[in-house]
Structure 1
Amino acid sequence: MAVVRKNPLKLNKLQLRTLVLAQVIAKDPNSGKIDEATGEATLLRVPHAHGDHVHVGKFTVAARDASGFDNPSVWVALTRKGLVKEGYPASIVLTKEGMDYDTGLGDHFLEESDH
């Protein structure tokens, strides 16, 4: 039986946080578009912080946890690892592998927004 490694691509914490938030955005019909044929997802808009938080779909996330959206190095690393297609900042497209990558963080940052 093969052992499934957690974080096999050895993403750092900022890369993991950015990827999981990008996955959430991609799945929100108001913010992302998933190509059913390829499994790739295009982010139609990237949220920006106001105050100490960011709205990601129906969730509220601490601004510090979403800081990777404005960091070109994060997108270069995610592209190099095959999780995102090249194109930042003009466009952000998660590959099928990027959409399927288990960051292990899906439930750590997200709280439903009260506004």
Structure 2
Amino acid sequence: MELIMLAAGGLGLILFILSFFLKDHSKNTEEELQELSMSLYQELSQLKKRTKLLEEELMIEPDSSQRKARPKQINEILINQVLSLHKQGMKPDQISALSSLHISDVKRIINH
């Protein structure tokens, strides 16, 4: 009985000493988790900033003076189609209904 008690005590002492020399994997895992959560926090923060900027850009509408000063750019192909339809005898309101252009843009292209 005493032999079993000594063997168990000796084994416990050996395992206790051995535990000081083994690497602690939980520290590495904890550090990796902390780095991951910091990087996710930074990415989330950047996404929030970008979203806020986009929301601000969408909320800002140009003044009427800016709209008049800078006419809308119209594709050359669309201009040719408008002129072709006008030569075929179509009225500006019909051309506007067929195209994605406002009637004022259609009239401006025809009169240009």
Which has more helix, going by share of residues? Answer: 2
Which has more strand, going by share of residues? Answer: 1
**If you compute each CA radius of gyration, which structure gives the higher value, 1 or 2?**
2
TM range, normalised to the smaller chain? under 0.3
Using structure 1 for the length normalisation, give the TM-score: 0.25
